[in-house]
Chain A
């Protein structure tokens, strides 16, 4: 069983209900995707294919836009989506990043 939930019927993302390890397989219908990297509990994966510029929908509401084509089951985060309002600030191994909005 896939350890992810779709919060609203129209959402194009799902939320992981447990942390997944590298090498685990995500199954979405006919699609099987083996993870190259671990993904943490609470993170998002694509519920379907999403094209660049398309709105990311969670809770039935837009939470930003895709910045790259996203395949079903792929991890969705700062590398392939952005805010429609404000930049997101992160710290990665001591380096500071301002992701553009």
Chain B
């Protein structure tokens, strides 16, 4: 802890990490337990109880690692796992991993609890108890160099790369200069700008790794025959993947790139990190991320306390676990969906603000959100969550050269 105070009211976890929210996660471990988990959560939805889960019945190392990272995220105070009973997810392993961090965690197995109705009843009793216990969570000062911020763009259009994305880049530059940790992602949306990006790597070896991660994404998407590009991107004036990439890339700002991480890796030092979201090995399991929320979940699994979401067409999503700040690139969209947006970066196009000014606005909003102010999507009850199948090789020391 060394830096200016972000908040004096962070939630101190027994593993030493600090959160800016104190939520309870209800987690279904297979789609067959989804309804029961949702019914357990429903009466507590306004009280900081979030629903997340994994649909698949087959076990997968990546999904387990993601779920462990998410359930032990510093914004999470307690966890209730809901299992059907016969699925492949390692529920005991997850339960123990959560308890090892000192968090309260409970497991309900529907097939052992007497079915739907009795499991819902038992789960609601557990939640009431957990919420009461969470009121005693110790509070602590948290400095800006303990903060992790992730950024994503979704529903991009021709304005995203001119206003919201570079304004987030300015906020990132300021945060990195304060030794906070900033994460940008989606290597598939960096296709075409890898050569520019590599020159910012902290070491030449890291540069090679960044280049290889984008080449991997290009191969992956070429095999699938479809890039990270939606029809709305074209309606909004974007014509090609590489044009979208150049705009997306500007979210990273201009700081040196300190390392490359994969989903679930929490950076150990401040700086700017690229999150490699495209699986290793041959193409398996389909699209790397089936929508924006799959990327947001990965940023949160890397420890992001808060997410900066740039949108041009107007995405309305939020997320389970961490607050999402929506930075609207397009002034027409901002007027169309004002309640869903936190920052109007579109006024840059109308000559009513500069990039630095909007960057400062984003930075100060992060501070207010860290101090408890709800974001637009939090106020509207958004808690989207998606997790699928992937496979990754672990990162090596050259991926994180600034950490010895």
Instruction: Give A contacts to B, CB under 8 Å.
Output: 5, 7, 15-19, 40-44, 56, 58-59, 61-64, 76-78, 81-91, 98
Contact = CB atoms under 8 A, between A and B. Distances in A.
A85 B312 contact: no
Contacts, number: 117
Contacts of A61: 192-193, 196, 242, 246
B278 to A, nearest CB: 14
A84 B238 CA distance: 14
A43 B158 contact: yes
Contacts of B237: 15-16, 40-44, 77
A91 B231 CA distance: 6
B349 A85 contact: no
A33 B162 CA distance: 25
A85 B242 contact: yes
Given A41-B237, A42-B157, A17 B350 contact: yes
A81 B240 contact: yes
Interface stretch (B117-125, B135-143, B221-229, B285-293): B221-229
Contacts of B312: 42
A57 B158 CA distance: 14
A94 to B, nearest CB: 11
B193 A78 contact: no
A69 to B, nearest CB: 17
12 contacts: A15-B159, A17-B350, A40-B237, A58-B246, A59-B246, A59-B247, A78-B234, A81-B239, A81-B240, A82-B240, A87-B227, A89-B229
Interface string B149-178: 000000001111110000000000000000
Nearest to A64: B240
B191 interface: yes
Contact of A64 (B159, B227, B239): B239
Nearest to A92: B231
B256 interface: no
Contacts of B159: 15, 41-42
A85 B191 contact: yes
Nearest to A79: B239
A76 to B, nearest CB: 7
Contacts of A81: 239-240
B222 A86 contact: yes
B241 A86 contact: yes
